[in-house]
Amino acid sequence: MKALHYSDWKKIGLVDVTEPQAASGEVLVRVAACGICGSELESFRSESPRRTPPLIMGHEFCGHVVEGGSESGFTSGAKVIANAVVGCGTCSDCESGNDYLCTRRRVFGMNMDGAFAEYVRVPERAILHWPSSLSATEASLAEPAGNAVHVFRAINEFDHKRVLVLGAGPIGLFCQQVCQALGGSDVVVTDPQSGRRDVASRLGARLAVNPMETDLVRACQDVWSGNGPDVVIDAVGTAATKQQSLAIASVGGAIVWIGLHSDQVAISSYLITLKELRVVGTYGASADDMKQALDLMVSGDIDASTWVATVDFENSANAFMELVDGTHAATKVVINPGSD
Ligand SMILES: [Zn+2]
Ligand SMILES: [Zn+2]
């Protein structure tokens, strides 16, 4: 089969590889669509040990079962979506449906082969139903959209009338939309790229600003009658955005760190204490988060298509490299390896 293979540091290309075989408890899925995730681009760029070549990446996908499926009932022909994170299935976190917290979790395209390929092996535990009204492109984005639902669940108990989202990449745009849809939040979004700000505005952001050129504190106060954000969602995760999230959050406010750009960073820790901030991290999505994200797509409350570009397999390596270099025009690219 063909696969977009990350063969060595800084090397990715379309090659022929052996078709995988489903083991017991797994199904073999013919991939219909697989999103290219920002975390994969960042891993490629920084030669991150989180994704070590040789590897087939790709963890945002949907497809058709072609083999297996005795345990889950998802038999040949079933349209399915997979969670990116697969738990061990036996620990207490997995038993509570929180596979993303499992200490023995595996992630597609990280420590098992992913779906930048014609076929992928999928543990039945990770499978969800692909709603028939959604296109392959939309269904493939249930995972990143589910991450945004997961973020919303983390802030739901706090005030979230005024939400500031740092970064209008795919995760930021999904967080924006989910906060608007589920929380009725008024959302301000920041991004240095004008194309991404345009998308955020079109998707209903109160304001989309360039943080390099705008006094963000002032911009928020202007639209929120002198108030700051109740919640800041950092969908970037650099030293600058982590510090910015602490500095700009209102007293007693909440902050979600989902972006994973930089690990060791210098921050003003006093801000957390003196402003009594609640800083939470979120990672991944549960099956329920993904199902809720799919419901929001089906109802039209979140848009997972008009700002997403698709690319066929032949052009996928080029698209990947353009995304790595920042020269691709689209905010999000989904690979369609097959004919459907
Ligand atoms: Zn991802
Ligand atoms: Zn587990």
Which-ligand-closest: CA of 283? 1
Which-ligand-closest: CA of 144? 1
Distance 101 CA to ligand 2 centre (A): 7
Q: What is the pLDDT of residues 144-165, one digit of tens each?
A: 999 999 999 999 999 999 999 9
Q: Same domain, yes or no, for 52 and 154? A: no
Distance 83 CA to ligand 2 centre (A): 14
Q: How high is the pLDDT of residue 70?
A: 76
The one-letter amino acid at 185: S
Q: Same domain, yes or no, for 218 and 111? A: no
Q: Same domain, yes or no, for 37 and 106? A: yes
Q: Same domain, yes or no, for 184 and 108? A: no
- The answer as to whether 288 is a domain residue is no
> Quick check: 48 pLDDT over 90?
yes
Q: Same domain, yes or no, for 125 and 191? A: no
- Of the candidates 281, 296, 316, which is a domain's last residue? 281
Q: How many domains does the chain have?
A: 2
d(CA 169, CA 175): 10
Q: Same domain, yes or no, for 321 and 272? A: no
CATH number of the domain residue 25 falls in: 3.90.180.10
> Quick check: 340 pLDDT over 60?
no
CATH number of the domain residue 185 falls in: 3.40.50.720
For the chain, give the mean pLDDT: 96
Q: How high is the pLDDT of residue 237?
A: 96
- Where residue 281 falls among pLDDT bands split at 50, 70, 90? very high
Q: Same domain, yes or no, for 271 and 328? A: no
Distance 60 CA to ligand 1 centre (A): 7
- The answer as to whether 286 is a domain residue is no
Distance 38 CA to ligand 1 centre (A): 6
Which-ligand-closest: CA of 100? 2
Distance 86 CA to ligand 2 centre (A): 8
Which-ligand-closest: CA of 40? 1
d(CA 88, CA 218): 47
Arithmetic mean of pLDDT, 31-59: 96
Distance 97 CA to ligand 2 centre (A): 9
Q: Same domain, yes or no, for 230 and 330? A: no
Distance 102 CA to ligand 2 centre (A): 4
Distance 103 CA to ligand 2 centre (A): 6
| Domain span at 228 | 148-281
Distance 214 CA to ligand 1 centre (A): 29
Q: What is the pLDDT of residues 175-191, one digit of tens each?
A: 999 999 999 999 999 99
| Range 213-219 contact pairs with CB under 8 angstroms and sequence separation of 24 or more | 214/190, 216/164, 216/190, 216/244, 216/248, 217/248, 219/188
- Where residue 337 falls among pLDDT bands split at 50, 70, 90? confident
Q: Same domain, yes or no, for 124 and 152? A: no
Do the beta carbons of residue 293 and residue 149 sit within 8 Å? yes
Do the beta carbons of residue 130 and residue 62 sit within 8 Å? yes
Distance 284 CA to ligand 2 centre (A): 14
Arithmetic mean of pLDDT, 237-246: 97
Q: How high is the pLDDT of residue 339?
A: 53
What sign results for the dihedral spanned by CA atoms 60, 66, 68, 74? Answer: positive
Q: How high is the pLDDT of residue 72?
A: 78
d(CA 178, CA 216): 22
Distance 264 CA to ligand 2 centre (A): 27
Distance 143 CA to ligand 2 centre (A): 19
Q: Same domain, yes or no, for 137 and 152? A: no
Note the helical H segments in 107-263.
136-140, 142-155, 170-183, 194-202, 216-223, 239-248
Distance 148 CA to ligand 2 centre (A): 22
State the CB neighbour count (10 A cutoff) for residue 159: 16
Which-ligand-closest: CA of 101? 2
Note the helical H segments in the chain.
38-46, 92-95, 136-140, 142-155, 170-183, 194-202, 216-223, 239-248, 270-274, 287-298, 316-325
What are the C-alpha distances in Å from 79 to residues 140, 141, 313?
Answer: 11, 14, 20
> Quick check: 50 pLDDT over 90?
yes
The angle formed by the CA atoms of residues 261, 229 and 296, to the nearest 5 degrees, is 70
Q: What is the pLDDT of residues 307-335, one digit of tens each?
A: 999 999 999 999 999 999 999 999 999 99
d(CA 295, CA 179): 15
- Where residue 257 falls among pLDDT bands split at 50, 70, 90? very high
Burial of residue 203 (number of CB atoms within 10 Å: 0-12, 13-18, 19+): buried
Distance 127 CA to ligand 2 centre (A): 16
Nearest to 245 by CA among 190, 206, 184: 190
Q: How high is the pLDDT of residue 58?
A: 98
Q: How high is the pLDDT of residue 10?
A: 97
Cα 286 to chain centroid, rounded: 13
Distance 305 CA to ligand 2 centre (A): 33
ipTM for this model? 0.97
Distance 66 CA to ligand 1 centre (A): 25
Q: Same domain, yes or no, for 160 and 266? A: yes
Q: Same domain, yes or no, for 243 and 196? A: yes
Arithmetic mean of pLDDT, 118-128: 96
Cα 129 to chain centroid, rounded: 19
